[in-house]
Amino acid sequence: MIFQYNFLLTYVFFFLFLSQMIGYVDAIESEMRFTNSRVFKFVLNNGFGTRIQVNCWNEHIERIKEKVIMDNIIYLEKAHCVTSTDYNRGNYKRAELIINKFTNVEIMGAFNDENCEIPTAEPVVLQEFQLEDLEKSILPWKFKISGYLKTQFSKIGSENPTQVKGIFTITDGIRKLDVTTNFFSDNHEYVRGDSLQLSGSIFHLSE
């Protein structure tokens, strides 16, 4: 199966309904309850790094929730397009999608390199976050983050003798994030206080 190009998404959202989209689930937010309503949110990634928030309200939650699993490839048809809000955790800011009674949601398998084809015509774009964003965002599997080097690099052991891991900490002056790199080399010129931009995945968040 082939995912959609970014430029195609700029056209489909001009219409009231999204005709169709194929993407994989790369973030899920816990169901939230209000006085008289419930909402379940997740993010679809088109394979090029464009992340579109999908919202499901009330009676529609039960029929789609069991299909929304991390890395599941979802075929979405006839979702309602609405204006993006401040609560949009994706990086596509032209619109959000709403599941309604006409929306068709189908599972097309799990995302992996063998069953998916992502054309190379467009580069994959990673969404960038700041440290202050981590605790309030629906994070993708992989993203970019910036900060300042708080500690020196330290080597740690690895089960693979050809792989040298390193650990260090970055900060924004208030928060900190411990980082592990799987391919560490002493041949670097970074010192404490240097600005760094990293790409990777979150392993654990704590208070």
Q: Which residues of the chain have pLDDT under 70?
A: 1-19, 112-125, 135-141, 158-163, 202-207
pLDDT of residue 77: 86
pLDDT of residue 115: 54
Contact 191, 149 (CB under 8 A): yes
pLDDT at 132: 81
* DSSP assignment string, the chain: -BPPPHHHHHHHTTSSEEEEEEEEEEEEEEEEE-SS-EEEEEEEE-SSS-EEEEEEEGGGHHHHHTT--TTEEEEEEEEEEE---TT--SS--S-EEEE-TT-EEEEEEE--TTT-B--TTS-----EE-GGGGGGS---SSEEEEEEE-S--EEE--SSTT--EEEEEEESSS-EEEEEESS--S-----TT-EEEEEE-------
pLDDT of residue 125: 67
The pLDDT assigned to 116 comes to: 56
**Confidence (pLDDT) at 2:** 46
For residue 188, what pLDDT is reported? Answer: 79
